[in-house]
Structure 1
């Protein structure tokens, strides 16, 4: 069923809000990492506490229907392992071998994987406008990140980056195609699974775990360590994941994943506003191209859905 224009507009607004909140993670995580926290430790606390924050609301949303969690355990497991833990761990491992720009480009190839998955599942090729939008969005992303030549990249980093892309694709697909469970319950359970999985990986030595309680430098001042962590838990995790899940349900995995690309634009904007890192003209141009691509994918997806509906509708005899 094709979402009505009003429904799609709300979904688009929610998706943009989710991307904006996810984009704050870099500006608020940096002080923690600089003060001695390991990436895995920050992610464990971020996902684990976000799961606990959402748990009371999730319980209210379930209204005693705990069997729903048992019925949906497979997508919850996939969401937690891949959409929660794997994406972030893979990305942090990737940047130990390759440049950040290349790692981000590889991770955001996940949106292409989403399109290929939907194409294979429905056996319907995306329309011309959708394909043009995809090309524009990826081109705009490349301009913003300005990645170096992949030819000399460490293959270990490339492998981790592609694994992150797979996790991102699973995040959007499971969010869009898991029905019959309240978003709060699904996200709370999924983030809890991701935190536990990452904690086990840390305790077994697969990823380093370093925590700290030293004050951190944040936006020109000194603050307790829990200040940036609070933002990462409430805004960049709990609210961001819930709104992302709702947006994916409303828009479908393809559109939601391409709107998610605007996270890069928002990250540049937050770095400008919060850290004083002014984006250059090239980044602004790339952001404009990316947004144009996202708009084209949004419009093209609506046309593709309408075309599919017409193909499935029985012909009416004159």
Structure 2
């Protein structure tokens, strides 16, 4: 029984890790595509709004089919879907872009990607899920690698306003992992993603109309390192690959791995973003960034082993409790 549980845990972790890496890679492509659009005259908020709304349009038909007429699922999970749209989608993006208005992009990104630490803290305080020593060690290795990848040689030159916005983005990123793992198991991940993206996209449009963020669109050709494309190709890729697929696969991975491990595997997004920037924008990573990428890989592996050991220990404890309960139970008369 214990061996069967172990094998199921291993398969679950393996599938979750593959899906999580695919999700992180897809998210990592977004920066380079959006940079091309912004160089062609788009504002950052406009690129984000179009990205999430296109993704919502792509996912809505699939979500309707998966609901199978059970509209009560939407009512029962309305709070989760709304929180996901405002916090995990719109809130994170708005906070991040406001942060980079007041501080360096690399510093804002570093603060946002301390989200795994926030996830561990939340699970510890809220659910008494104290992380093991191996998980903590893997997290520290991954965060160290992230610092090297971002390569903050210019120091923390930022205003307090920028720091506050970046911390808000970190909270939004942590909310993405926590909310993705929630639900009673009856709400399909595609429905959660579609609803959240629709709410988040509409929230961004409202924020733009209110003047909170600039919304500027353009139809100029988009120029990358070695080629030029029409504007709608990056928009389509942003919506389908970096949003629709990325969010759905991210939710699936988080439900398989749990929010803690999934948040650390998501650090691959930074490594993927550097790779895509190298290919599409000609921004070659430095040696220190390659070293940081290696540390991120090591950190994720260490966290994985810590989570596997914890799952095995919990399964063994449950099995022992079940055996003890069966042994003490009196036969029925």
Question: Which TM-score band (shorter chain)?
Answer: over 0.9
Greater displacement, 110-119 / 266-275: 266-275
Q: Which residue of 1 aligns with 2:101?
A: 96
Q: Which residue of 2 aligns with 1:231?
A: 237
Q: 2: CA distance between counterparts of 1:149 and 1:297?
A: 30
Shift of 1:243: 0.4
Confirm or deny: 8 A CA contact 2:115 2:173 kept in the other structure: yes
Confirm or deny: 8 A CA contact 1:101 1:148 kept in the other structure: no
Q: 2: CA distance between counterparts of 1:293 and 1:210?
A: 40
Q: 2: CA distance between counterparts of 1:153 and 1:181?
A: 41
User: 2:278 pairs with 262, 272, 279, which one?
Assistant: 272
Shift of 1:152: 4.1
Q: 1: CA distance between counterparts of 2:156 and 2:238?
A: 35
Superposed counterparts of 1:1-318, under 5 Å = 4-148=9-153, 152-178=157-183, 179-311=185-317, 313-314=320-321, 316=324
User: Could you list the per-position Cα deviations for residues 170-194 of structure 1 after superposition, in whole angstroms to 9, with x for gaps in the alignment?
Assistant: 1101101223111111110110000
Shift of 1:311: 4.5
Q: 2: CA distance between counterparts of 1:36 and 1:260?
A: 30
User: Could you list the per-position Cα deviations for residues 145-190 of structure 1 after superposition, in whole angstroms to 9, with x for gaps in the alignment?
Assistant: 0225765421111111000000001110110122311111111011
RMSD between aligned residues: 1.8
The structure with more radius of gyration: 2
Shift of 1:309: 4.0
Task: Structure 1: give runs of 5+ residues left out of the alignment.
Answer: none
Q: 1: CA distance between counterparts of 2:190 and 2:136?
A: 33
- SS of 2:223's partner is strand
Greater displacement, 275-284 / 33-42: 275-284
- SS of 1:4's partner is helix
Q: 2: CA distance between counterparts of 1:177 and 1:307?
A: 23
TM-score by length of 2: 0.91
Task: Structure 2: give runs of 5+ residues left out of the alignment.
Answer: 329-333
Confirm or deny: 8 A CA contact 1:102 1:148 kept in the other structure: no
Q: Which residue of 1 aligns with 2:331?
A: none
Confirm or deny: 8 A CA contact 2:119 2:259 kept in the other structure: yes
User: Could you list the per-position Cα deviations for residues 240-275 of structure 1 after superposition, in whole angstroms to 9, with x for gaps in the alignment?
Assistant: 000001000000000000000110011111122233
Confirm or deny: 8 A CA contact 1:46 1:229 kept in the other structure: yes
Q: 2: CA distance between counterparts of 1:287 and 1:233?
A: 27
- SS of 1:269's partner is helix
Greater displacement, 277-286 / 20-29: 277-286
User: Could you list the per-position Cα deviations for residues 36-81 of structure 1 after superposition, in whole angstroms to 9, with x for gaps in the alignment?
Assistant: 2111111111111110111111111111111111110111111111
